[in-house]
Amino acid sequence: MTANPAAAPAKRPAGRGRNVELSEELKAYKGIWVFIEHERGHVHSVSWELVGEARKLADKLGCAVAAVLLGGPDEALEKFAAEAFTYGADKAYIVHDPVLLGYRNEPFTKGLTDLVNKYQPEILLLGATSMGRDLAGSVATTLLTGLTADCTELAIDPATRALAATRPTFGGSLYCTIMTLAYRPQMATVRPRVMLMPTPDASRTGEIVQDTLGMVETQIVTKLLDFIADAHSNKINLPYADVIVCGGKGLKTPENFKLVFELARVLGGEVGATRPCVQAGWVEADRQVGQTGKTVRPRLYIAAGVSGAVQHRVGMEASDVIVAINTDANAPIFDVAHYGIVGNAMQVLPALTQAFAAHFAQHRRQVA
Ligand SMILES: Cc1cc2nc3c(=O)[nH]c(=O)nc-3n(C[C@H](O)[C@H](O)[C@H](O)COP(=O)(O)OP(=O)(O)OC[C@H]3O[C@@H](n4cnc5c(N)ncnc54)[C@H](O)[C@@H]3O)c2cc1C
């Protein structure tokens, strides 16, 4: 927990420990909020995943879910709010302001902290994206509350009704569950694809609360001069790929890694890699799956020459179907695999590529 030791006395309860009694002031905090991340007219899917998760937690606590939307005067925040309702939100807090057009830390921190101080949610969730990580840290330190980053599981502790936020620790060898018992709101960030995408319910609606920011451009140090899209960003979209073929150090050389690319191409999937392959410069860092890489949830995950270390598994074990190819029948990857092939990846990968290519070619002939 990253609670600031210099927290304001008014936010401290009388006691410490799990049976801590919240002050009347902190007991007033109610409801679960999700910061809805949007950029250039698109909402990041992690926001909907978090609204779905917030709904489940709120049903346990018996409280409401609210979406928080900050943006420029003409941005479609009301439309995004309507979408948030379909995913499970009951309410949306919206702030339109010229200084909120395009993400900058200062106005977004002020916007979010002001809303929290005014409406007092007990839990605040953000995506563990570049924006979410930047914003969550500054909001938590401004509010003097606890933030658990990169959570893999969220639950409600029945004893305290506190948020139990689980995340890997000690280099991924242990999971720890962290509770912010003494401060409000309880904050957590969650990576894209860790939580399931909820099914939208078009009949759901909710209440919209409009608020104001009270900040002017001259108060902001950073200036947004232009937006230049990174030509390489989103080229590799591992978290949302349906099929991933992942290569590990068992492939031995970067030349052999091409076998992974060939199978992924035939299957119309993406290429993933373990950390040592990235560190060796065989593939781009954006392809790394695992604790310090991406979390993925594809329909099919093929792991070739991957040992299955816990730091890798934490990023891929939620895949629907896992196929592992490894020469060592005792490799840990087989503990999470639905199908295991004990064999040499340099032989198995080309055989699979050939078999799938022949299968799809035949399918295309039948359809034509
Ligand atoms: C703090 C921390 C964070 C980390 N984060 C990540 C992370 O995000 N992602 C990640 O992947 N790792 C991460 N790691 C590293 C992790 O602990 C492992 O070292 C790594 O996942 C192992 O990669 P690997 O399976 O490619 O290699 P190895 O462990 O070397 O395994 C190679 C496997 O290939 C098999 N093999 C050998 N030859 C063949 C062959 N011809 N055909 C088929 N199989 C063969 C071997 O039996 C073996 O099981 C992290 C480690 C730390 C300490």
pTM of the model: 0.83
Instruction: Please tell me the distance between residue 310's alpha carbon and the centre of ligand 1 in angstroms.
Output: 9
Q: What is the pLDDT of residue 101?
A: 96
Q: What is the pLDDT of residue 24?
A: 86
Q: Residue 336 half-sphere exposure, CB side, CA atoms within 13 Å?
A: 20
Where the chain has pLDDT below 50, the residues are 1-16
295 lines ligand 1 (CB under 6 A): no
Q: Whose CA is nearest to atom 41 of ligand 1?
A: 344
- The residues, ordered by sequence, that sit 6+ positions from 245 with a Cβ below 8 Å of its Cβ are 260, 263, 264, 267, 269, 270, 271, 272, 302, 304
Tokens (6 digits) for 266: 């035939």
Q: Whose CA is nearest to atom 27 of ligand 1?
A: 249
95 lines ligand 1 (CB under 6 A): no
Task: Write down the residue that tokens 């490894």 correspond to.
Answer: 326
DSSP one-letter code for 143: H
154 lines ligand 1 (CB under 6 A): no
Q: Is there a contact between 143 and 120 (Cβ–Cβ < 8 Å)?
A: no
Task: Count Cβ neighbours within 10 Å for each residue of 35-58 and write b for 16 or more, e otherwise.
Answer: bbbbeeeebbebbbbbbbbbbbbb
Instruction: Please tell me the distance between residue 49's alpha carbon and the centre of ligand 1 in angstroms.
Output: 29
Q: Which domains does the chain have, with CATH numbers?
A: 9-219 (3.40.50.620), 238-367 (3.40.50.1220)
In tens, the pLDDT along 96-143 reads 999 999 999 999 999 999 999 999 999 999 999 999 999 999 999 999
Q: What is the pLDDT of residue 234?
A: 60
Instruction: Please tell me the distance between residue 282's alpha carbon and the centre of ligand 1 in angstroms.
Output: 14
Q: What is the pLDDT of residue 20?
A: 66
For 32, 48, 96, 123, 341, the CA distances from 120, given in Å and listed in that order, are 10, 22, 20, 9, 53
